[in-house]
Structure 1
Amino acid sequence: MFYVHLDAIVSKARKTLHLPLEELPPLADDDMANNLKEKHFKHIDPRQHIFFWLLHIFRWDYIVMVIMLQVKGIMVFVSPLVMNQILAYIQTPDDHHFIRPWFWIIMLLFAPLIETAAVNWFEFLAQRTLVRIESLLTELLFEHALKIRVKTTAETDDEDGEKKTSNASGKLSTLVTVDLNTIAQSADCALLFTYCPVQIILSAVFLYMLLGWSAFVGIGLTLVTFPIPSILLGWIHQVKVEQMKKTDARVQVFSDAMNMLKMVKLFGWERRMFAKVDEKRNEELTLVKKAKLIDVVYDVLSSATSAITIVTTLACYVCPLTLTLVARNVLTASIIFPALIIFENLKRYIQIAFFYTTVAVGAKVSLDRVDEFLRDSELLDEYTDTKIISDENVERIGFHNALFTWTAQVDSAIDSDYTPGRQRFVLQVRDEILFKSGAMNLIMGPTGSGKTSLLLALLGEMHFIPSAEDSWFNLPRQRGVAYAAQEAWVLNETIKDNILFGLPYNEQRYHAVLKQCALEQDLSMFSAGDLTEVGERGITLSGGQKARISLARAIYSNAEVVLLDDVLAALDVHTAKWIVDQCFSGDLLTGRTVILVTHNTTLVKSLAQYIVTVKDGTAVGSGVTNADGIPELVGLTETETEATDVEDPDSKANGDSEADGKLILAEEIQIGRSGWSSVKMYTAALAGDGGRPISTRILFFLPLTFTLVSSSLGQVVQIWYLGYWSAQFENNPPEEVRSVFHLNIYALIFVLYSIMFGCYFILFVIGGIRASVSIHARLVASVFGATLRWLETTPVSRIITRFTQDIRSVDDNFPRQLSRFIELSAVMIFRLLSIIFVFQAPLFILPCILVTSLGVVCGMVYLKAQIPVKREMSNAKAPVLGHVNAAFADLTSIRAYSAQEAFISRSLSRIDVYARTARVFYDLQRWVGVRTDVLSGIFAACVAWYILYVNKGVEAGNSGFSLNMAGNSMERITHYLNIEQEPKPTKDGVPPAYWPTTGELRVENLKARYSLDGPDILKGFNFEIRSGERIGVVGRTGSGKSTLTLALLRCIPTDGEVYYDGLPTSRLNLDALRDKITIIPQSPELISGTLRHNLDPFAEHDDHTLNDALISAGLHSLQKQLPEDSDRRITLDTIISSGGANLSVGQRQIIALARALVRRTKVLILDEATSAIDYETDTIIQSSLKHNLPKDVTVIIVAHRLQTVVDVDRIMVLDAGQIVEFDSPKNLIQKEGGYFKALVEQWNGKEGFITAMQ
């Protein structure tokens, strides 16, 4: 009852600066997420709404909670009953009943204790239920997400009836953060349906006992006016639904921006992307403001309802015959003050009903969204009733007369209603494809033909459509399947953990895998070796390193079937040859079935025993059993190259890299007290922050203060005037008391109070919206302006949490708690002053000081423990979201490895950490609540007559505690406003309007590093590039190729100088510089929306320009075999999923190239921009760039695939951060002992290169 088990935690918190997670009490077995799942998931009925499932599993808790609420409700009425008896005794003392008042005073002590026990039991159950519901729904959403078909693009209608894409990842983030938080906050909604109605009835009964039949007149008016709030409820529901849609849209836009933030920074798009996010934010805030104004109307209506009830009841009691002065009742203190308590209680019950109605509406909206996600998400065929395979084909691997699509919504390749904006891909397998077991099988074909789709169809990721009675496909999983995706997927863990992927460590096998996957040299360059954290999305690794780690994971596994999707595309010629010779031909793949997608047939042709050719979505198998049957590609065979070396040298040797390999910074945890700095920042933002003149800020705070003081004073004057009115009956005959006059004065006070009350909250809403705009804008600007280094060490999930859960707190919880705290504090001060000065009771200050001192001590001790717990609770939420997003990033790999259970186990453990902190957080709330309730009871027993005035003091104290808790979100946001920033724009950094006129580059003694105190990666580069030259940049892994591109754009710290068309770039604003240089990274970053939106996200160009760019980028050649009216053609109206998930990597690279061409800058940098494109298309692209670009455009091509740079003007060869050669290809190929010549010899020989040049 008194939560004494937390005394040790509270005591320990007093002696330490921070209370770590390990010191918190462990989670009970019944609260463990796995036990909750095992117990309750089996009761889910997919035909019913999720609400009825929750109601069923927690029904007994709800019943006990209802009983406790009724006990609490009965104890509440002890106070007015006791006051009535005490005041009646004072009015008519009875010496024979001396013991009676002491009995009532003792009741004032014990009634609150009984009430406290009931409340504690209720709160314990409510909070336990709250945590369990959040755990259950989080796990339910996660496990459901593991079953979703990943490449479907849902479409919904917007307000204008137009189609728009809906991204499941962004919605899932919002569901796990915002919606589950909203549902959790509705745990006390039992108050609305059981407690409030009963209390309103009991209030009516007690009022009847005091005021007779006149009590029912006021209550009747309350019921008559009740439909008005009901109408507002409908509005609130509509606004909440629309608000959540706008929140989803904002989070989706921001998530897209975060996922492609590197490209945004490289293109200098921060301001324009900020404008897009700000536009969505303004749409959201319009509805937030509307909802808040309706809430103000709600509050004013509740106050008005209370006023109407009291005034009407008193009018009927004092003037029974309406306005006649016949049969007057006497209004005594023993009647008016108990009645006033009941009226106050009645008002509070109505307010509680109103408040929890809005909470219930919000919870319903969120529950509906969760239910909709669970119902409407398209699942894989294995989780539906779709028949997949005949029993007789269980042991074979392959297909027979099968069709596959990316959505089950279209079950026919013919009877479909796809529009040109909805690209349909149908994969057709003619006849039979049977992969050879225990051997190497190849899948080949041009870019975008469907090679990856064939692998995914085999994995069951696509929707299977039987084209004949004997149609089937099969992939035996009994002995395991391993999968390495074309876009290498790594977890935010160590390199070793990524390779082991949950399997036991076998030292001999592990080191053999490292050797065969050419990882030993890479690991030797990391200070922590294989214990180095790879960062979120493998940010610390190059493309080649991620590809080899993904390959190593597949090789280390015990899976009999190994699926490899173009794993050679990100490797240089030397590494690729090593992988083929040592890994593909090694002992670890002997006897295993390998299915390899590749463009590079020359390296693997000696190993292949079966080939599948894919063209235009049609797959045909051939019975080739030897290398001679493998067709050669036109022209040179291609060997692709490592993508980027963004942090190769840096992550191995820089000063920031710790020996333990830690990269991701721990969640920020401020030591000590929080809240008041957040209040200060928020208060400043209420008046428009520092950007507005002081006069504007005064004009805001002056009326806000005036309305606050007026409304607080009005509450005190109401009570005082009732006492003054009742005193007139004691000092004068009833017929001499001007009841109508006093009634009018009392009503006038109520009206003025309500007006001031409403004005105060309207002003606070206006200021709150202004603060929300300011804080969100500053937060977006801070994140968009952050350095690449900060972005690399901060998980995206943590940033997304700031823009979902924490921004929601800024919009809603924090301003509500702040306004409530200010209001209640003001009321408490005025009430205490009124007792001391108006009622001339100066000694009353002594118990006030005593109780206040004890309350302050109790509160300080409580906050010392609660604040670190709240921080741990908030920080425990980000890993839950991060795990959900990490799993959602590559569901295909998780399902291919059958690793769902491992990821579910990790999810359960993260949920348990969050639940552990949440339980302690809520229990500490009741720990302090019990003690303040006891103080209140003692105080009430000591000064019984003043019970009416002391209750509010405790409430204000509790509100202050809540304010500190709500301030935790503000604290984290404040931290993000002070992160490491890139240089801000200045007036002096604006270049001339005519600049640049040429693409000339001159570099003098350029040095670059990845951190301010790190070693130089580029070591004194000096070179000059003439305008219009085509420059190739080659070199081995870690030589500094991609570092050079980042240095040219000032993305990393540099020394020396770069002159672009004669101007030193160090003096230019970053956005001005990056807007005039275009870079295309190897990993193309696309956003959800149409292809037009991806090419021109800010609508600055016409369709003719965009189509020309697509043609120059090679899309036309890629689709030349498709009819003009084919719905498989990619057009400007084609819907692109988030990240381009519905396109092949090669297609994404073509789109990224087209987007770069649209910019029409004088310098174009291609950083492995065509690595995933087949040789024929790549040749067409390079020829197009050479002949279609203006002659003054300088092109810098970073490549390991040597045929990409065969026709450049000059080639820059890098090694160990230095330029070792820089000359024409012709001269370099003839240089004896040269670096470049050695690369060519390893590739295809000198003659092959010369042939390619010719």
Structure 2
Amino acid sequence: VEELLEAGDQTVVGDRGTPLSAGQKARISLARAVYQDADIYLLDDPLSAVDAGVSRHLFEQCIRQALHEKITILVTHQLQYLKDASQILILKDGKIMKKGTFAEFPKPGVDFEDILLKTNEEAEPSRVPDSPTLRGQPSESSVQPQESPRPSLEDAAPEDQDTETIQVTLSLESRSEGKVDFKAYKDYFTAGAHWNIIIFLILVNIAAQVSYVLQDWWLSSWANEQSTLYATAHGKGKEILVPDPGWYFTPYSVLTAGTVLFGISRSLLMFYVLVNSSQTLHKQMLESVLRAPVLFFDRHPTGRILNRFSKDTGHMDDLLPQIFQDFVQTFLLVMGVVGVMVVVIPWTTILLIPLGIIFFVLRRYFLETSRDVKRLECATRSPVFSHLASSLQGRWTIRAFKAQQRFQELFDTHQDLHSEAWFLFLTTSRWFALCLDAVCAVFVIVVAFASLFLAETLNVGQVGLVLSLALTFTVMVPRCVRQSAEAETMMISVERVTEYLDLEKEAPWEYKHRPPLSWPQQGDIDFSNVSFRYSSDGPLVLKDLIPLIDLRKKVAMLGTGILGGSDLVSRLFKLHRPRVDLYVPGVQAASFGSHRYRREAPIIKQEPVLFIGTMRKNLDPFNEHTDEELWNALEEVQLKEAVEGLPGRLNTELAESGSNLSAGQRQLVSFARAILRKNQILIIDKATSNVDPRTDELIKKKVREKFAQSIVLTITNRLRTVIDSESVMVLDSGRRVEFSRPYKLLQNRNSLFYKMVQHLGEAEAAALTETATQVSMDKE
């Protein structure tokens, strides 16, 4: 660890164990269990995640030596270790079918795999492997099976040296500084409407405010006229001509109706534009994230991504439209109030100019702090989400190690840090509001006393209008300044969202140039000096691969050192870009879109991908097949009877990741989906690492039957799975070192493949050699 990781054991491990490789995660999980010094250990098949050499090392050094005085229950499909067990239990559907010591079984050297197969056949042969019914909850253990590692051989490297390197490093969350860039405002407003609509919105807001000011001015003129009439009538007693009441009432009614109409229109139009902007930006951000390369998800924890899709998007949906609407209305109202005050009492300009300077300085001083405090609050929220996501994902392990208190304290630490930033933001906002209110109170006092001193030069209407506007001023100006500052602070959420609009994109999904609909008519994969790395500063994990895999070839792939077969799968599915490209059925991979490319090469992974939805949707997501074809595919993988027994049959709802299916059932559903596609290329990426021998044999049998005319590329750590392949490709540190028939490689005692087989033990190695010999003789 000290050599591989820059910070040694202080290296921060991110979401899903990033930046550790799968093999490292499996070994760290095992080491964590051993470190607890417990009396009883439950090990749920940890050896399936490593190759033969590492598996032997872990079994001998860890399980046999470090745990030799402990009660250890090991679940495994690696039968070569059974002779070292004190007690052997063979289970079927949760029941013990056979038990005893190695010596107590029928005869020495018994084929345990054959016993396992017969046991499954005797116990209700119509039932599917693992469990025939949907289960309520998935099971986990303190040591969980992980994806296959990038293994190292004892002969390729010293036993105490791990040649796996860290491919990906976590990146810190970016945080801008200073003012919110004008581009964020431009992107926000133009996302919801064209410039013509925005200009029209501005004109409607101005019209609403003009109508509102004219309404007050007309009412003031009406009041002055009535005051003059009253003074004339009672002062001199002369006969006067009273104007028609409609002269004032009609225009006032029109202005009132205009104020209401324009006010409603600007509110509806403003919310329409801003809500539409939020929807558009969310859609663009989602598309950008979906188009991002896999490396992006390795470097950014789930909580960080969810933070922008939840809280930041929530600010755009809920707060920003209301804040901008309030700010625009109050700003125009303040401008109208200031205009009227200057026209009616010009001397108020003397007060308004220094008042404006004070507000400007206060706002600028406040924003220098509040912007960065808000960014800090947003950044400290991400660890809370990440911690919750990882805790929920590993809740079984947390309970097994009785670490609830530690994880609760860690959550409290993250939450306290976020609460501190949020509280700081609230206190700075309250301080700003208090300063604004104090300044406005002083302004009203000065205006009131000034009106008394100038009472002889002002009429009643002017004094009433000025005092009314001054009171309105004290309410609207602080609100306007606060809302303008709040708008800029909330625009940080838009700034964070727009950061995800410019993510690096993977290869285009579609090109104008498309291969013919009949492509691919044949299956072949040509690696034309393919090399690539996970990141621009990372090491090469594939180096100058040249092999040509021909039609109908069944090729198995084993990796050592820093390379696992999954690196090649990443390239085959265009998840990463190589230094030199490859050709699939005669067409350069980079010359057409990823959608079509990926559709033609189904993959069965170690952890099958199932979605929430019906069994039908998981088998046929695009409704391309009939029910008869779906049932036939299920029958091929021996799942038909199990699915027929479900309440909804094909319409039965699956839980998240198919957790209400057993591991074997999930794998068989994934294989049935591949059978339906009938492609020329099939990739099996460690699909049988965590399944029982019967399911392994079933998948191998159906691959030979259903994909006889196709290329089948199998990536696995199970040597028994690859021993009957037509060819085996061995990659060491990213470079192809061996590529031949298993039988031929086993004849070379210096080959890496031969050394892998020998790590399984004498009896298992002899059995595999015999199988390879028989397969070679049959083909000849």
Given the two structures, how large is their TM-score scaled by the length of structure 2?
0.84
- What does residue 904 of structure 1 align with? 408
Which secondary structure state, in structure 2, belongs to the residue aligned with residue 1219 of structure 1?
strand
- Give % identity: 28
Give the one of 575, 580, 586 matched to 2:54.
575
Residues 738 and 589 of structure 1: CA distance in aligned 2, closer, same or farther (over 3 Å): farther
Which secondary structure state, in structure 2, belongs to the residue aligned with residue 960 of structure 1?
helix
- What does residue 1245 of structure 1 align with? 765
**Alignment pair present for 1:790 and 2:296:** yes
By how many angstroms is 1:727 displaced?
0.5
Give the letter for the 2:309 counterpart: F
Residues 933 and 968 of structure 1: CA distance in aligned 2, closer, same or farther (over 3 Å): same
**Conserved in 2, the CA contact under 8 Å of 1:1018 and 1:1043?**
yes
1:130-149 matches, cutoff 5 A: none
- What does residue 452 of structure 2 align with? none
- Greater RCO, 1 or 2 (C-alpha within 8 Å, sep 6+): 2
- What does residue 808 of structure 1 align with? 314
Give the one of 715, 731, 742 matched to 2:228.
731
**Alignment pair present for 1:722 and 2:228:** no
**Alignment pair present for 1:1171 and 2:694:** no
- What does residue 960 of structure 1 align with? 484
- In 2, the alpha carbon distance for the partners of 1:647 and 1:559 equals 28
**Alignment pair present for 1:1149 and 2:673:** no
Q: Which runs of 5+ in 2 are unaligned?
A: 118-143, 153-160, 234-240, 449-466, 776-780
Give the letter for the 2:85 counterpart: L
- In 1, the alpha carbon distance for the partners of 2:510 and 2:98 equals 62
Which secondary structure state, in structure 2, belongs to the residue aligned with residue 1031 of structure 1?
strand
By how many angstroms is 1:816 displaced?
1.6
**Alignment pair present for 1:1095 and 2:572:** no
- What does residue 69 of structure 2 align with? 591
By how many angstroms is 1:979 displaced?
2.0
Q: Which runs of 5+ in 1 are unaligned?
A: 1-519, 658-662, 689-696
- What does residue 780 of structure 1 align with? 286
**1:949-976 deviations in Å (ceiling 9; x for gaps):** 4232222111101101211211110111
By how many angstroms is 1:1251 displaced?
2.6
- In 1, the alpha carbon distance for the partners of 2:11 and 2:605 equals 24
Residues 899 and 1136 of structure 1: CA distance in aligned 2, closer, same or farther (over 3 Å): same
Which secondary structure state, in structure 1, belongs to the residue aligned with residue 616 of structure 2?
helix
- In 1, the alpha carbon distance for the partners of 2:372 and 2:25 equals 37
- In 1, the alpha carbon distance for the partners of 2:67 and 2:400 equals 18
Which secondary structure state, in structure 2, belongs to the residue aligned with residue 1055 of structure 1?
coil
- What does residue 184 of structure 2 align with? 678
Residues 968 and 800 of structure 1: CA distance in aligned 2, closer, same or farther (over 3 Å): same
**1:985-1009 deviations in Å (ceiling 9; x for gaps):** 5644533333222111111111111
Give the one of 406, 421, 431 matched to 1:917.
421
- In 1, the alpha carbon distance for the partners of 2:511 and 2:712 equals 30
- What does residue 209 of structure 2 align with? 712
Residues 1016 and 1125 of structure 1: CA distance in aligned 2, closer, same or farther (over 3 Å): closer
- In 1, the alpha carbon distance for the partners of 2:150 and 2:305 equals 22
**Conserved in 2, the CA contact under 8 Å of 1:527 and 1:652?**
no
**Conserved in 2, the CA contact under 8 Å of 1:572 and 1:641?**
no
**Conserved in 1, the CA contact under 8 Å of 2:163 and 2:561?**
no
Which secondary structure state, in structure 1, belongs to the residue aligned with residue 759 of structure 2?
helix
- What does residue 342 of structure 1 align with? none
- What does residue 1226 of structure 1 align with? 743
- In 2, the alpha carbon distance for the partners of 1:539 and 1:947 equals 61
**1:774-805 deviations in Å (ceiling 9; x for gaps):** 11111011101112212101011111121111
**1:306-350 deviations in Å (ceiling 9; x for gaps):** xxxxxxxxxxxxxxxxxxxxxxxxxxxxxxxxxxxxxxxxxxxxx
**1:870-902 deviations in Å (ceiling 9; x for gaps):** 111111111112111111112211112221111
Give the one of 749, 759, 781 matched to 2:265.
759
- What does residue 573 of structure 2 align with? 1049
By how many angstroms is 1:543 displaced?
3.0
Give the one of 245, 248, 253 matched to 1:742.
248
**Conserved in 2, the CA contact under 8 Å of 1:1007 and 1:1055?**
yes
- In 2, the alpha carbon distance for the partners of 1:921 and 1:584 equals 54
**Alignment pair present for 1:863 and 2:339:** no
Give the letter for the 2:412 counterpart: L
By how many angstroms is 1:820 displaced?
1.9
- In 1, the alpha carbon distance for the partners of 2:83 and 2:652 equals 36
Give the letter for the 2:31 counterpart: A
- In 1, the alpha carbon distance for the partners of 2:418 and 2:728 equals 55
- In 2, the alpha carbon distance for the partners of 1:811 and 1:974 equals 15
1:874-913 matches, cutoff 5 A: 874-913=378-417
**1:190-230 deviations in Å (ceiling 9; x for gaps):** xxxxxxxxxxxxxxxxxxxxxxxxxxxxxxxxxxxxxxxxx
- In 1, the alpha carbon distance for the partners of 2:361 and 2:560 equals 66
1:1064-1075 matches, cutoff 5 A: 1064-1075=588-599
By how many angstroms is 1:1213 displaced?
1.3
- In 1, the alpha carbon distance for the partners of 2:162 and 2:260 equals 64
- What does residue 970 of structure 1 align with? 494
- In 2, the alpha carbon distance for the partners of 1:816 and 1:1159 equals 51
- In 2, the alpha carbon distance for the partners of 1:1187 and 1:828 equals 80
Given the two structures, how large is their TM-score scaled by the length of structure 1?
0.53
Which secondary structure state, in structure 2, belongs to the residue aligned with residue 782 of structure 1?
helix
- What does residue 453 of structure 2 align with? none
Give the letter for the 2:482 counterpart: N
- What does residue 80 of structure 2 align with? 602
Give the letter for the 1:584 counterpart: I
**Conserved in 2, the CA contact under 8 Å of 1:1001 and 1:1059?**
yes
By how many angstroms is 1:1242 displaced?
2.6
**1:1132-1158 deviations in Å (ceiling 9; x for gaps):** 334322123233333322223333333
**1:408-431 deviations in Å (ceiling 9; x for gaps):** xxxxxxxxxxxxxxxxxxxxxxxx
- What does residue 447 of structure 1 align with? none
**1:215-250 deviations in Å (ceiling 9; x for gaps):** xxxxxxxxxxxxxxxxxxxxxxxxxxxxxxxxxxxx
Root mean square deviation, CA, Å: 2.9
By how many angstroms is 1:1095 displaced?
2.5
**Conserved in 2, the CA contact under 8 Å of 1:998 and 1:1061?**
yes
Count of residue pairs the alignment pairs up: 705
Give the letter for the 2:186 counterpart: K
**Conserved in 2, the CA contact under 8 Å of 1:650 and 1:1009?**
no
- In 2, the alpha carbon distance for the partners of 1:678 and 1:1144 equals 48
- In 2, the alpha carbon distance for the partners of 1:729 and 1:993 equals 86
Which secondary structure state, in structure 2, belongs to the residue aligned with residue 634 of structure 1?
helix
**Conserved in 2, the CA contact under 8 Å of 1:675 and 1:965?**
no
1:655-694 matches, cutoff 5 A: 663-674=169-180, 676-687=182-193
**Which segment drifts farther, 1169-1178 or 700-709?**
700-709
- What does residue 628 of structure 1 align with? 104
Residues 737 and 825 of structure 1: CA distance in aligned 2, closer, same or farther (over 3 Å): same
By how many angstroms is 1:746 displaced?
2.7
Which secondary structure state, in structure 2, belongs to the residue aligned with residue 1132 of structure 1?
helix
Which secondary structure state, in structure 2, belongs to the residue aligned with residue 1220 of structure 1?
strand
**1:685-705 deviations in Å (ceiling 9; x for gaps):** 1215xxxxxxxx41x234322
- What does residue 614 of structure 1 align with? 91
**Which segment drifts farther, 851-860 or 1218-1227?**
1218-1227
By how many angstroms is 1:1105 displaced?
2.9
Give the letter for the 1:544 counterpart: G
**1:808-851 deviations in Å (ceiling 9; x for gaps):** 222221122122222222222222223324x2x33322321211
Give the letter for the 1:1005 counterpart: N
Which secondary structure state, in structure 1, belongs to the residue aligned with residue 191 of structure 2?
helix
**Which segment drifts farther, 1162-1171 or 841-850?**
841-850
- In 2, the alpha carbon distance for the partners of 1:1071 and 1:1127 equals 33
Residues 1008 and 863 of structure 1: CA distance in aligned 2, closer, same or farther (over 3 Å): same
- In 2, the alpha carbon distance for the partners of 1:1045 and 1:834 equals 72
**1:26-61 deviations in Å (ceiling 9; x for gaps):** xxxxxxxxxxxxxxxxxxxxxxxxxxxxxxxxxxxx
- What does residue 179 of structure 1 align with? none
- In 2, the alpha carbon distance for the partners of 1:765 and 1:605 equals 73
- In 2, the alpha carbon distance for the partners of 1:1180 and 1:667 equals 46
- In 1, the alpha carbon distance for the partners of 2:213 and 2:616 equals 63
